[in-house]
C-alpha cells in the first residue's frame, strides 16, 4: 500500500510550494548553480571500450525528499491524480523481512529533519515522470538562445563517466582504492564491518557474520541514508556517487554505485545490481545535455 503522510505542522508541503514558486520567479539560476554542476565532454575508457561522452549538467546530489514534495505538491494542485498515484512514496518498503524501520515509515518522507535526504521507495516510472515535470515546469529557458533544458536519467555510460570525476584510474569517485582518507575519515556511506564479522563457513568460504540485532558488530555501521550532498564531492563536484543510495539509469534495468546497505566493494563506480522496483536503498539524480557555451549562467569550475 502506498502511503504519503500529511505533516501535522503543514510545514513541509507549504515550504515546498513556496520554494517552487520562488525558484521560478526569482532564484532559477541560483538554484541551478547551487544544485547542479557541469560535466565536460570526453572519453570514457571502460569495460575494454572507448566511448565519446557529450557534456551535460548533473545534479550534485540525489533528488531529495524536499524535491519530491515540490513535485507531488504541484501534481496535487493540477489535480493530476493519475500521475500522483504512480509517484506516491511506498513508505512501507522500509520494513523488509530482515529489518523493521517503523520510524522511517512514519517520518523519513515527511519530517523536516529528512528534507535533504535522498528520496527512496519510488519507482523508475515515477523518476521519469519527475524528469518530465522538471523539464516542463521548473527549469527556465536558457538566456540568449531560447534553448530549454530537458532533464532525464543518465545512461549507464554517462553515469560512470561522471562518477570518475575526470580521473581515469581508481575504483571510487575520489580515484583511490580505499574507503577512508589519510585522517581515517570515511569517504562514503556504506556497510562497514571489521575482522570480528568475518568467518569461514563449512566449505571454507569467507562469510560475514551478523550480530543478534541483525546488523554487523562494528560501531561504525550505518543503518540509513545520509544527506544528498554529504561526504566529499568528486572532481566534477558530485556527491555520493559511491554508496548512500543506488541510482537508477535510463538505458538499463539496473541500479548503480551501491548504497548504504552494501559493503565497500559493492559501492564502486562500476558496481551495479538489478532494478527490482521501489526500495529503501534506491534513488536517482537527473542530468540535462548542455554545451559549455549554453550555460554562461553556471559558475564553471576552473581546472588547476
pLDDT at 300: 53
Cα 86 to Cα 259: distance, rounded to the nearest angstrom? 24
Question: For the chain, what is the largest distance between any 2 Cα atoms, rounded to a whole number of angstroms?
Answer: 68
Q: Phi then psi for 113, rounded to 5 degrees?
A: -60, -25
Cα 76 to Cα 290: distance, rounded to the nearest angstrom? 31
pLDDT at 63: 98
pLDDT at 204: 76
Q: Spell out the residues 6+ positions from residue 293 whose beta carbon is closer than 8 angstroms to its own.
A: none
pLDDT at 202: 78
CA dihedral 241, 71, 100, 7 (to 10 degrees): 130
- Angle at CA of residue 148, ends 144 and 153, nearest 5°: 145
Q: Are 122 and 278 in contact (CB under 8 A)?
A: yes
pLDDT at 157: 97
Q: Spell out the residues 6+ positions from residue 8 whose beta carbon is closer than 8 angstroms to its own.
A: none
The Cβ of residue 142 has, within 10 Å, a number of other Cβ atoms equal to 16
Hey, which residues does 152 pair with through a beta bridge? 287
Contacts 24+ apart (CB under 8 A), 43-50: 44/157, 44/160, 44/161, 44/164, 45/168, 46/157, 46/160, 46/270, 47/270
Q: Are 175 and 232 in contact (CB under 8 A)?
A: no
152 membership: H or E segment, kind and range: strand 151-152
Task: Give the HSE-up count for residue 151: Cα atoms under 13 Å, Cβ half-sphere.
Answer: 23
pLDDT at 214: 44
Cα 16 to Cα 14: distance, rounded to the nearest angstrom? 5
Spans in the chain with pLDDT lower than 70: 1-29, 31, 96-100, 138-147, 194-197, 210-222, 292-304
Q: Phi then psi for 272, rounded to 5 degrees?
A: -155, 160
Cα 130 to Cα 213: distance, rounded to the nearest angstrom? 37
Cα 62 to Cα 293: distance, rounded to the nearest angstrom? 26
What are the grid coordinates assigned to 289, written together? Answer: 545535455
Amino acid at each position: 500500500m502506498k502511503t504519503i503522510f500529511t505533516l501535522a505542522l503543514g510545514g513541509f508541503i507549504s515550504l515546498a510550494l513556496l520554494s517552487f514558486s520562488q525558484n521560478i520567479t526569482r532564484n532559477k539560476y541560483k538554484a541551478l548553480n547551487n544544485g547542479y554542476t557541469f560535466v565536460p565532454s570526453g572519453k570514457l575508457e571502460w569495460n575494454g571500450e572507448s566511448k565519446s561522452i557529450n557534456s551535460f549538467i548533473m545534479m550534485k546530489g540525489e533528488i531529495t525528499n524536499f524535491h519530491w514534495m515540490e513535485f507531488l505538491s504541484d501534481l496535487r494542485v493540477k489535480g493530476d491524480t493519475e500521475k500522483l498515484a504512480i509517484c506516491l512514496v511506498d513508505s512501507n518498503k522500509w520494513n523488509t523481512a530482515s529489518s523493521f524501520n517503523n520510524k522511517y515509515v512514519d517520518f523519513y518522507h515527511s519530517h523536516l529533519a529528512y528534507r535533504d535526504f535522498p528520496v527512496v521507495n519510488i519507482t523508475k516510472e515515477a523518476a521519469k515522470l519527475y524528469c518530465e515535470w522538471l523539464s516542463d515546469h521548473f527549469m527556465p529557458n536558457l538566456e540568449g538562445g531560447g534553448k530549454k533544458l530537458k532533464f532525464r536519467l543518465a545512461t549507464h555510460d554517462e553515469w560512470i563517466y561522471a562518477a570518475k570525476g575526470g580521473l581515469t584510474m581508481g575504483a571510487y569517485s575520489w580515484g583511490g582504492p580505499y574507503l577512508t582518507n589519510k585522517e581515517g575519515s570515511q569517504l562514503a556511506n556504506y556497510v562497514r564491518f571489521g575482522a570480528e564479522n568475518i568467518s569461514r563457513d563449512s566449505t571454507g568460504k569467507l562469510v560475514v557474520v551478523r550480530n543478534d540485532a541483525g546488523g554487523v558488530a562494528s560501531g561504525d555501521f550505518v543503518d540509513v541514508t545520509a544527506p544528498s550532498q554529504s561526504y566529499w564531492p568528486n572532481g566534477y563536484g558530485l556527491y555520493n556517487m559511491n554508496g548512500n543510495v543506488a541510482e537508477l539509469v535510463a538505458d538499463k534495468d539496473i541500479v548503480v554505485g551501491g548504497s548504504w546497505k552494501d559493503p565497500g566493494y559493492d559501492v564502486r563506480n562500476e558496481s551495479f545490481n538489478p532494478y527490482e522496483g521501489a526500495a529503501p536503498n534506491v534513488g536517482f539524480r537527473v542530468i540535462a545535455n548542455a554545451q559549455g557555451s549554453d550555460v554562461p549562467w553556471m559558475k564553471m569550475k576552473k581546472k588547476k
